[in-house]
Amino acid sequence: MSAIEIPRPDPRILARRAEILAGLAALVPPTSLITEEDERRAFETDALTAYRRIPMAVVLPETTEQVSKVLAFLNKEGVKVVARGAGTSLAGGAIPSEDAVVLGVSKMSRILDVDTANRTIRVEAGVTNLGVSGAVAHLGFFYAPDPSSQLACTIAGNIGMNSGGAHCLKYGVTTNNVLGVKLVLIDGTIVEIGGAHMDAAGYDLLGLIVGSEGQLGVVTEATLRILPLAEGARPMLMGFQSAEDAGACVAAIIASGIIPVAIEYMDRPAIQVCEAFAHAGYPLDVEALLIIEVEGSEAEIEDLIVRITTIAADYNPSGLRVSQSEAESAAIWKGRKSAFGAMGRLADYICMDGTIPTGQLSAVLTGIAEICAGYGLRVSNIFHAGDGNLHPLVLFNANDPVEQHKAERCGEDILKLCVDLGGCLTGEHGVGIEKRDLMTYQFNTIDLDQQMRVKSALDPQWLLNPHKVFPLAGRPV
Amino acid sequence: MTSILLPESETEIEAIVHEAAQSHSPLAIHGGGTRPIGKPVHADRALSTKLLTGITLYEPSELVLSARAGTPLAEIQQTLAVNRQRLPFEPIDYRHLLGNHGIPTIGGVTASNSSGPRRIHSGAARDSLIGVRATTGRGETIKSGGRVMKNVTGYDFVKLLVGSWGTLAVLTEVTYKLLPEAETELTLLLTGLSAERAVEAMTTALGTPFEVTGAAHLPATDGMPTRTALRLEGFDASVRYRIDRLDTVLQPFGAFETIAAEASRVLWASIRDVEALETPHDAAIWRISVRPTDGPRVGESLKAQLGSRVLYDWAGGLVWASGPAEGDGGAAIVRSAVASVGGHAMLVRGSPELRASVPVFEPESPGVAAMSRLIKATFDPAGILNPGRM
């Protein structure tokens, strides 16, 4: 039983499928149009795999002009469009409906221009997140936002969801690292917003587009900020006997004036699973583990590590260990970045993404434990402690519909707790279909109506990724 | 005669704006009134938020502060200084350049997206702002963002409202993330470089991992050669180490002197506030954003064609240039210079007549202009908030 509703397809659109496919075939090369059911099935879901719908067709344009023609055509025909990067959304942001066309950007993946003097790179939106850093690493630069899925996820998807990552504590999230986009509106209009210069001439439309979950237009190109690689970086591990100690230690570090590149938190279940998977050398006899990374020259790193360990001494740390080699650093991060995959080998899970004020860390962890116990479900907490972005993994058996439903309700309660504590429903994954129906918990009708007015202004028929973000009830169309 | 409304609460603002929308009577929106930028707004009534004051949340250990829109910037900065914290983006104080004596408010900083030299390292006001409350032209108060560091819940109206100059909504409360103050700072000063060479030095420095937090090129003044300044901030030992490393990198650009913390702060405050272009007081002043390496081309061409004085900030990416007080203030030449490289220019100082007669903001492409109009209409359907300002 699916708890999240995906509206029934519009029979009038399904009845015109052949005609719509013929129209698309006239606009893109044959290799860019997928119509066979077997092949369309690859686009039926994303990383929220409990929900799936096979789209009516999949278009993979090769150019912005093709995207423009496809959107203009679908707009005229009144057909829904779901833009898709690599399909790694944990919120169901790329899940289509049966009467929708999926528009994938995977064939637009060229690096267009690298400009180290101005610290920018211009790319087609289908390039992967890691592909951007890969294109400039030999020049001593990198692209800062680093979602766990960075090997696969695309810049298009990162912009759609305003993706973050472990290292955004220091460097910011996607919206802080995008300078310009080429955007195609639903009527096919191509607009350039921003560029290689900083800040907007008028309204900050770029800031609006980033994180709009593919509902306002389709991004085909982006100009991104690249940054010089630090001279060196080193993670350290610190174990604690309680979540309270770990949380207080994080607050004390930040209050001291040190902004590490990353502060990641894992609880006991997560530590056990990740250690078994990655052999990262995590301490197994602690309740909470912090991975703290600092960067700079050798001397700067040493200095920061001394400062941090001095602060931490007040919070009874155990198993304190500073990485001694590149290999050890890589293993430490491998454990963290493969946490979701490792957990997935044990059980099915839903990964929540609420954010809370960092001062509420121990309160939220206590609350999460209580909520999960109430549902009789296990939970494992992995999160970006420095910025309060939580990723509780609620474990369940996907073959048991009752348990799945329970897990979803458990996840909802956790997110409501985050809002109650002064936080929000989603810190970096996006709303998608997953948190759509919780939006009324964080926003009132006035807030949501104004957001939906902007949606209606730029997409009057609500064709772009329509079933996402806003509750199905109360929409203008 | 313009009458000034001084609401003390969000509820009062809602009532005023709602009534204005019903009666289609425009409102000029002000904070402390220190940024008379944009086209002159013709309105019988002005709404000032300067009595809507007070810091509503400050959690030093979470690096977050909320304040009502009319809260003086100085009050916020003094409160933060007690805990050795600051707003990351170094907001400009326009009073020197624009010759007025109002009290800058946090709402004004936000509505104008005012960012200073540290923008190249720590982002603009738009990057530090994490939450807003604002009353739209419908007389309804919306919220966006919140008080947490990461938040992608719903559309990012925080970005849409920052820098919207009171034309979409009246900001009532803003929340910023903060940074610790640096333990110390030092500035490297190179002298006598041409603008082009200076930008080469500055972009070279920014291409290193040594975390330059300010990079500006000041014009020659009577008897003084040009000065190119690079700022480093952080823990003392780290700053000294990075100075040494930059010394090597910057060898080709000549010898530099090092300016110690106190003098460095004074220098960067003068760069932030564009003191080099303060006089003559009647000259037009343009604020131009381009790619850093395009800065000299724009700046030098304005010098040649308009006799401009030019200050380069953001490693060359922010060009402050003077223009003639009369005529179009240099608009045609500035616009054409910017168009040749890509970017935008804003007339920040000019007589009301001048600001009424030339576009103050960079004219937008038809597609972007259409999007902006559609969005404006959703927030302010009656067109009563600062009509015509942008």
Task: Report the candidate in A83, A96, A198, A146 with the shortest Cα–Cα distance to residue A459.
Answer: A83
Residues of A in contact with B164 (CB under 8 A): 203-204
Among B10, B119, B138, B155, which would you mutate to test the A interface (most chain A Cβ atoms within 10 Å of its Cβ)? B155
B281–A contact, CB cutoff 8 A: no
Give how far A355 is from chain B: nearest CA, Å: 7
Q: How far apart are CA A285 and CA B158, in angstroms?
A: 43
Provide the sign of the torsion angle of the four alpha carbons A131, A55, A22, A213, taken in this order. Answer: negative
Q: Which residue has the tokens 């491998």?
A: A334
Ramachandran class of B327: left when φ > 0, alpha when ψ lies in -120 to 50, beta otherwise = left
What is the model's pLDDT at position B1? 61
Contact B168 A203 (CB under 8 A): yes
Q: How many CA atoms lie within 13 A of B250 on its CB side?
A: 31
Give how far A11 is from chain B: nearest CA, Å: 30
**Ranges for all domains in chain A classified under CATH 3.30.70.3450:** 233-338
Residues of B in contact with A427 (CB under 8 A): 148-152
Q: How many CA atoms lie within 13 A of A230 on its CB side?
A: 18
Cis peptide before B280 (omega within 30 of 0): yes
Find the residue in A nearest to B204 (Cα). A117
What is the model's pLDDT at position A166? 83
Residues of A in contact with B140 (CB under 8 A): 446, 450
For residue A161, give the nearest of B152, B317, B344 by CB distance. B152
Contact A426 B151 (CB under 8 A): yes
Provide the chain B residues 137-156 that lie in CB contact (below 8 A) with chain A. 140-144, 146-156
Find the residue in B nearest to A165 (Cα). B150
Question: What digits encode the pLDDT tens for the residues A225-282?
Answer: 999 999 999 999 999 999 889 989 998 998 888 989 999 999 999 999 999 988 989 9
Contact B377 A457 (CB under 8 A): yes
What is the model's pLDDT at position A345? 84
Give how far B222 is from chain A: nearest CA, Å: 32
Ramachandran class of A447: left when φ > 0, alpha when ψ lies in -120 to 50, beta otherwise = alpha
For residue A426, give the nearest of B141, B152, B181 by CB distance. B152
Q: According to CATH, what is the number of the domain A233-338?
A: 3.30.70.3450
For residue A387, give the nearest of B150, B152, B156 by CB distance. B150
Q: According to CATH, what is the number of the domain B1-181+362-390?
A: 3.30.465.10
Contact B153 A431 (CB under 8 A): yes
Query: Could you give the C-alpha distances from B339 to A190, B334, B362, B368, in angstroms and in order?
Result: 19, 9, 10, 16
**Ranges for all domains in chain A classified under CATH 3.30.465.10:** 111-144+151-164+173-228
Residues of A in contact with B361 (CB under 8 A): 201-202
Find the residue in B nearest to A453 (Cα). B378
SS3 of chain B: helix, strand, coil, percent, to 5: 35, 25, 35
The dihedrals phi and psi of A399, each to the nearest 5 degrees, come to -80, -5
Q: How far apart are CA A167 and CA A294, in angstroms?
A: 10
Amino acid identity, position B91: P
- DSSP for B286-355, written as a single string: EEEEE-GGGHHHHHHHHHHHH---EEEEGGGTEEEEEE-SSTTTTHHHHHHHHHHH-EEEEEEE--HHHH
What is the model's pLDDT at position A341? 84
For residue B368, give the nearest of A118, A191, A231 by CB distance. A191
**Ranges for all domains in chain B classified under CATH 3.30.465.10:** 1-181+362-390
pLDDT beneath 70, residues of chain A: 1-2
What is the model's pLDDT at position A188? 98
CATH classification number, B184-272, choose in 3.90.1300.10, 3.30.300.30, 3.30.70.260, 3.30.70.20: 3.30.70.260
Q: Which two tokens stand for residue B183?
A: 């333990």
Contact A196 B372 (CB under 8 A): no
CATH classification number, B277-359, choose in 3.60.21, 2.60.200, 3.30.70, 3.10.620: 3.30.70
Residues of B in contact with A257 (CB under 8 A): 84, 180-181, 183
Which class would CATH give A111-144+151-164+173-228? alpha beta
Residues of B in contact with A430 (CB under 8 A): 152
H or E stretch including A208? helix A205-209
**Per-chain mean pLDDT for chain B:** 96
Task: Report the candidate in A259, A292, A388, A167 with the shortest Cα–Cα distance to residue B85.
Answer: A259
- Strands A218-225, A262-267: parallel, antiparallel or unpaired by DSSP? unpaired
Residues of A in contact with B111 (CB under 8 A): none
What is the model's pLDDT at position A339? 85
For residue B60, give the nearest of A229, A255, A442 by CB distance. A255
What is the model's pLDDT at position A278? 87
Contact B154 A439 (CB under 8 A): yes
Query: Could you give the C-alpha distances from B362 to A311, A476, B114, B120, B165, in angstroms and in order?
Result: 50, 34, 17, 21, 14
Q: Which two tokens stand for residue A129?
A: 């997140």
Provide the sign of the torsion angle of the four alpha carbons A374, A380, A385, A389, taken in this order. Answer: negative
What is the model's pLDDT at position A114? 98
H or E stretch including A209? helix A205-209
Amino acid identity, position B172: T
As for the ipTM of the complex, it is: 0.97
Find the residue in B nearest to A447 (Cα). B142
Contact A293, A233 (CB under 8 A): yes
For residue A172, give the nearest of B127, B144, B291 by CB distance. B127
Contact A348, A378 (CB under 8 A): no
Give how far A449 is from chain B: nearest CA, Å: 10
Provide the 8-state DSSP code for B113.
Answer: T
Contact A81, A43 (CB under 8 A): no
Q: According to CATH, what is the number of the domain A347-431?
A: 3.30.70.2740
Contact A231 B209 (CB under 8 A): yes
Contact A357 B361 (CB under 8 A): no
Question: What digits encode the pLDDT tens for the residues B87-98?
Answer: 999 999 999 999
pTM of the model: 0.97
pLDDT beneath 50, residues of chain B: none
**Ranges for all domains in chain B classified under CATH 3.30.70.260:** 184-272
Q: Which two tokens stand for residue B39?
A: 């086209």
